[in-house]
């Protein structure tokens, strides 16, 4: 089961992105340093935290114990609002048998934590939580052993409970007391080895699985928490970067005198990189304006969003690396199509959209004696460390990336753009520099959820049975490409294209596009065969979790009753999907305002299954967050571009969901303590857009095939 | 906003758009919510400006802050200071708002984690808390 629960679809894009700047180092020096750097890299990656483990960090560099008995757990995972800090704290508390309040997490500091991989792909729950639990369980056994050594007894009848080591004869010792006796508990543990320990089964959980609030809530409501954009260093300057007026434009000429004459301003030029620093953001902005005024550019032609889908289709290519076409065929689709009574065809369009996390990219960089420290908001601190090492031709040993809990990511913060920029400026001015992207920069120079063109065909035989399925995704990727329905002949394909815009991960990746097209098309097929959309799906699904969530949502939503007594301008839609080992089904009720054509989603009901639930409160927030974020992508969000510029580069042009858009939401969580836990921050987003499309089809009688959905 | 964040080091006031569309930068000026990114410093001479840092009385959280914690009304928490201050201003002018009134008042505040339902519940809870123990 657990193998099936972890079918990680490696993120396709972010590792392939080319660096944005080529700083003008001599080629030879570059190769030499990077050559050496790579050697150190592989050592550094696995070595540093472990090295320290040998010197006192307990159980593979996971835990530190302070004199008050507080357990500090170290992890390379980071917090961007998805709840990893709370969830991992719970995991430590559960297995170490200490109260949650006694656990602190140190996250995403590459100099002190183990590399747990990037924070994406819903991997914290299925991968990191078990690792951390195992480490905590081992640490618990070792701590008990240590206490018993102090008492001079055998560890048999001793156990840890609520942060206290208890012997059956009544003796007790708190963690603080243990630290007082042993000194460095971490170091003492490091010398010990432990067997693999049974983890606490879900039905015996005391901390996991409970409605725990956020561990850092007080810092957040009081404004005390320092997000990456709030970090300050002594003598810090504020930096700005000169951006081209359009994509791929090249700088031909620049006169930086006016900018440089402003008080406290330094202009930094290096290859294609131009930036400036100043004592305040206000002054840096003025300097930037002065630079913009004198810069002359050579612009390049660039396709516009109105030609997007044609361009994608025309540039379909054989790709390279992980970007190669992918797909599979079962049975003989061609033969089934030829023998069909009817062939149904449709193509679906999914535009580029943006993550638009509330906190734009931000970084502070500081160089001390050739060593670089960067505070930045990223989902992948260890990769950013590598990016910085490469950009400045230094070894990873000399780069430290610290990730303070940040203001949202959603797959959009995989790269270290702001980090590289801040580091370049800081290197030039020899002082710490902060770079805070503006919303406009974020909307233009970050990356986007890939646009996609999806062509689907199905064959229906003379008995009204679907006999073949043919599905091609141009450009947006292969996540959730497989068709879960039991059609006898199936072909699916993911086709790379030349994307006009920089694209990358997004919550659930291409599962949003693939599931939109598939589930909207399933409704078409249901209509073609005069079947109820729910009954049609159930008829073509094998027994299992997808069927279970469908049945659960239909029951909760009262699908059959509602769907039958439909009022004018009202529609009911259903859709489902599975990705990364979790299962979602969603029903919606929509209303179309006849004169204005405005679409209102009135009610959303979702059933979700992700195995054993670890934090019900946070899970509910993640599911609701996915549903509303998906509603935005379904109804409003689209990146428009022309002449190499993003025209939807602010929240006025680029509409995202607000309070008024929030429907009545009803979430059913199917808790399965008997199954391993799967990640849950992504999959619930994949069924809402098709459910809305299907409800609009129901309301208007016309099937919709392009996001964002509009009725005419 | 830059003055608050950079000169006074009050970084609880957040930048989200710089053009009045997200309200992450909300402060209270004489009790009224204002987007500080749209505010010239000259305009607030002689006025009382409250930022998120000045809301709690020492360790004692304001009722709205307490309710946000109790209802888990945040994911990343970046929008939270603006949300809290806007809600405080609402409850000062209308201590018993209906859900529709809350939605109307709060509609300018964006939360990209889309934690809206919990935030609505938190404001309702804060209204109840304030009824029980009227604010000084
Ligand atoms: S930053 Fe002021 S309204 Fe968005
Ligand atoms: S909690 Fe993240 S933006 Fe609102």
Contacts of A659 in chain B (CB under 8 A): 102-103, 106-107, 109, 116, 120
CA B116/CA B80 separation, integer angstroms: 11
| The two three-digit tokens of residue A61, written as one number | 């560099």
Q: Which residues, in sequence order, are CB contacts of A567 under 8 Å at separation 6+?
A: none
Asked if A49 and A61 touch (Cβ cutoff 8 Å), the reply is yes
Please tell me the distance between residue B19's alpha carbon and the centre of ligand 1 in angstroms.
5
Smallest CA-to-CA distance from A590 within A450, A706, A698, A466 is with: A698
pLDDT band at A61 (very low <50, low <70, confident <90, very high): low
CB count, 10 Å around CB of A340? 18
Which of A42-56, A110-124, A140-154, A260-274 shows the lowest per-residue confidence on average (mean pLDDT)?
A42-56
Q: What is the mean pLDDT of residues A9-16?
A: 44
Highest averaged pLDDT of the listed ranges A130-134, A158-162, A385-389: A385-389
- Could you say which architecture CATH assigns to the domain B2-132? Orthogonal Bundle (1.10)
CB contact under 8 A, A407 and B120: no
**Beta pairing partners, A376:** A363
Asked if A194 and A138 touch (Cβ cutoff 8 Å), the reply is yes
CB contact under 8 A, B115 and A358: no
Which DSSP helix (H) or strand (E) runs through A630? helix A616-635
CB contact under 8 A, B14 and A224: no
Q: What is the mean pLDDT of residues B45-67?
A: 93
* Option in B2, B65, B75 nearest A221 (CB): B65
What's the confidence (pLDDT) of residue A5? 39
pLDDT digits (tens, 9 = 90+) for A269-289: 998 899 999 999 999 999 999
CA A573/CA A527 separation, integer angstroms: 13
CB count, 10 Å around CB of A127? 17
Question: Measured from the CA of B14, which atom of ligand 1 is nearest?
Answer: 1
Question: Measured from the CA of B21, which atom of ligand 1 is nearest?
Answer: 3
Nearest CA to ligand 1 atom 3: B20
Q: Is the CB–ligand 1 distance for residue B117 below 6 Å?
A: no
Alpha-carbon gap: A380 to the closest alpha carbon of chain B (Å): 17
> How far lies A685's CA from each of A322, A345, A709, B83, in Å?
25, 26, 16, 24
Alpha-carbon gap: A137 to the closest alpha carbon of chain B (Å): 28
pLDDT digits (tens, 9 = 90+) for A188-236: 776 666 667 788 888 888 888 876 778 889 999 999 999 999 999 999 9
More confident residue, A553 or A6: A553
Contacts of A282 in chain B (CB under 8 A): 2
Which of A55-69, A315-329, A656-670 shows the lowest per-residue confidence on average (mean pLDDT)?
A55-69
pLDDT digits (tens, 9 = 90+) for A611-647: 988 888 888 888 999 999 999 999 999 999 999 999 9
Q: Where exactly are the structural domains of chain A?
A: 9-221, 229-299+361-436, 315-353+448-700
What's the confidence (pLDDT) of residue A54? 33
> CA nearest A357 in B: which residue?
B112
Task: Enter the CATH code of domain A9-221.
Answer: 3.30.365.10
Half-sphere exposure of A424 (CA within 13 A, CB side): 29
3-state SS of chain B is CHHHHHHCCCCCCCCCCCCCCCCCCEEEECCEEEEHHHCCHHHHCCCCEECHHHCCECCECCHHHHHHHHCCCCCCCCCHHHHHHHHHHHHHHCCCCCHHHHHHHHCCCCCCCCCHHHHHHHHHHHHHHHHHCCCC
CB contact under 8 A, B74 and A220: yes
Q: What percent of chain A has pLDDT over 70?
A: 90
Which DSSP helix (H) or strand (E) runs through A145? helix A129-151
CB count, 10 Å around CB of B107? 14
Task: Enter the CATH code of domain A229-299+361-436.
Answer: 3.30.365.10
pLDDT at A469 over 50: yes
ipTM, two decimals, is: 0.96
Ligand nearest to the CA of B39: 1
CB contact under 8 A, A358 and B19: no
**Is it true that A9-221 and A315-353+448-700 share their CATH fold?**
yes
Q: Where exactly are the structural domains of chain B?
A: 2-132
**pTM for the complete prediction?**
0.90
* Option in A281, A405, A650 nearest B21 (CB): A650
Radius of gyration of chain B (CA): 14
CB contact under 8 A, A658 and B14: no
Q: Is A296 helix (H, G, I), strand (E, B) or coil?
A: strand
A408 shares contact with chain B (CB less than 8 Å): yes
Q: A-B interface: how many C-beta pairs under 8 angstroms?
A: 174
User: Could you tell me how many residues make up chain A?
Assistant: 712
Please tell me the distance between residue A82's alpha carbon and the centre of ligand 2 in angstroms.
10
pLDDT at A46 over 80: no
CA A274/CA A267 separation, integer angstroms: 7
For domain A315-353+448-700, give the fold.
Answer: Aldehyde Oxidoreductase; domain 4 (3.30.365)
Q: What is the mean pLDDT of residues A138-157?
A: 88
């Amino acid at each position: 089961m657990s193998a099936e629960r972890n079918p990680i679809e490696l993120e396709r894009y972010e590792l392939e992105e080319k660096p944005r700047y080529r700083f003008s180092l001599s080629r030879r020096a570059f190769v030499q340093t990077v050559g050496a750097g790579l050697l150190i890299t592989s050592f550094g990656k696995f070595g540093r935290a472990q090295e320290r483990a040998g010197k006192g960090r307990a159980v593979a560099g996971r835990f530190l114990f302070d004199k008050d008995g507080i357990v500090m757990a170290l992890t390379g995972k980071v917090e961007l609002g998805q709840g990893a800090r709370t969830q991992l704290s719970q995991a430590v508390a559960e297995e170490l048998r200490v109260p949650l309040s006694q656990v602190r997490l140190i996250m995403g500091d590459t100099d002190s934590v183990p590399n747990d991989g990037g924070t994406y792909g819903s991997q914290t729950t299925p991968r990191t939580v078990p690792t951390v639990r195992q480490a905590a369980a081992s640490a618990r056994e070792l701590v008990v052993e240590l206490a018993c050594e102090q008492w001079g007894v055998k560890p048999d009848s001793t156990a840890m409970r609520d942060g206290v080591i208890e012997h059956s004869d009544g003796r007790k010792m708190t963690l603080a007391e243990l630290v007082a006796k042993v000194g460095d508990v971490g170091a003492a543990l490091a010398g010990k080895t432990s067997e693999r320990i049974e983890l606490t089964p879900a039905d015996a959980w005391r901390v996991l699985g409970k409605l725990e609030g956020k561990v850092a809530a007080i810092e957040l409501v009081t404004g005390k928490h320092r997000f990456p954009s709030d970090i300050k260093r002594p003598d810090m300057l504020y930096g700005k970067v000169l951006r081209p007026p359009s994509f791929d434009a090249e700088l031909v000429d620049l006169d930086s005198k006016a900018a440089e004459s402003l008080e406290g301003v330094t202009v930094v030029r290096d290859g294609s990189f131009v930036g400036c620093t100043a004592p305040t953001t206000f002054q840096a902005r003025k300097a930037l304006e002065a630079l913009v005024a004198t810069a002359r550019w050579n612009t390049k032609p660039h396709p516009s969003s109105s030609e997007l889908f044609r361009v994608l289709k025309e540039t379909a290519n054989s790709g390279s690396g992980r970007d190669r076409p992918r797909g599979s065929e079962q049975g003989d689709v061609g033969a089934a199509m030829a023998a069909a009574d009817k062939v149904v065809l449709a193509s679906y369009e999914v535009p580029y959209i943006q993550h638009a996390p509330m906190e734009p990219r931000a970084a502070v960089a500081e160089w001390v004696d050739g060593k670089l420290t960067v505070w930045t908001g990223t989902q992948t601190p260890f990769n950013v460390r590598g990016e910085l090492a490469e950009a400045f031709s230094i070894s990873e040993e000399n780069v430290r990336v610290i990730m303070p809990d940040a203001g949202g990511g959603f797959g959009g913060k995989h790269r270290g753009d702001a980090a590289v920029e801040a580091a370049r400026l800081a290197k030039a001015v020899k002082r710490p520099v902060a770079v805070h992207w503006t919303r406009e920069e974020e909307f233009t120079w970050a990356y986007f959820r890939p646009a996609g063109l999806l062509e689907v065909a199905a064959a229906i035989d003379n008995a009204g049975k679907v006999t073949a399925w043919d599905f091609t995704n141009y450009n947006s990727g292969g996540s959730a490409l497989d068709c879960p329905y039991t059609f006898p002949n199936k072909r699916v394909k993911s086709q790379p294209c030349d994307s006009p815009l920089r694209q990358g991960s997004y919550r659930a990746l291409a599962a949003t596009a693939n599931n939109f097209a598939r589930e909207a098309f399933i409704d078409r097929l249901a209509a073609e065969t005069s079947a109820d959309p729910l009954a049609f799906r159930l008829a073509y699904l094998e027994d299992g979790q997808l069927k279970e969530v469908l049945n659960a949502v239909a029951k909760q939503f009262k699908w059959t009753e509602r769907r039958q007594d439909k009022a004018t301008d009202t529609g009911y839609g259903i859709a489902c999907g599975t990705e990364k080992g979790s299962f979602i089904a969603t029903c919606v009720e929509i209303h179309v305002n006849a004169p204005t054509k405005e679409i209102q989603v009135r009610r959303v009901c979702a059933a979700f299954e992700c195995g054993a639930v670890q934090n019900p409160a946070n899970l509910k927030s993640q599911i609701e967050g996915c549903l509303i974020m998906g509603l935005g992508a379904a109804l409003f969000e689209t990146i428009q571009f022309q002449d190499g510029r993003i025209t939807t580069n602010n929240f006025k042009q680029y509409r995202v969901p607000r309070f008024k858009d929030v429907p009545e939401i009803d979430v059913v969580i199917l808790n399965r303590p008997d199954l391993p836990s799967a990640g849950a921050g992504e999959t619930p987003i994949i069924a809402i857009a098709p459910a809305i499309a299907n409800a609009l089809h129901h309301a208007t009688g016309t099937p919709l095939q392009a996001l964002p959905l509009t009725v005419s | 906003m830059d003055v608050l964040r950079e000169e006074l080091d009050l970084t609880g006031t957040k930048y989200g758009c710089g053009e009045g569309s997200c309200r992450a930068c909300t402060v209270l000026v004489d009790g009224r919510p204002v987007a500080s990114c749209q505010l010239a410093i000259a305009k607030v001479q002689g006025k009382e400006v409250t930022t998120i840092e000045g809301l709690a009385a020492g360790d004692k959280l304001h009722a709205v802050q307490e309710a946000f914690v109790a209802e888990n009304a945040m994911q990343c928490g970046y929008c939270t200071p603006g949300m809290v201050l806007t809600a405080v201003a609402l409850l000062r002018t209308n201590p018993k708002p209906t859900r529709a009134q809350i939605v109307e008042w709060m509609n300018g505040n964006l939360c990209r984690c889309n934690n809206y339902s919990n935030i609505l519940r938190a404001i309702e809870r804060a209204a109840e808390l304030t009824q029980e123990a009227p604010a000084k």
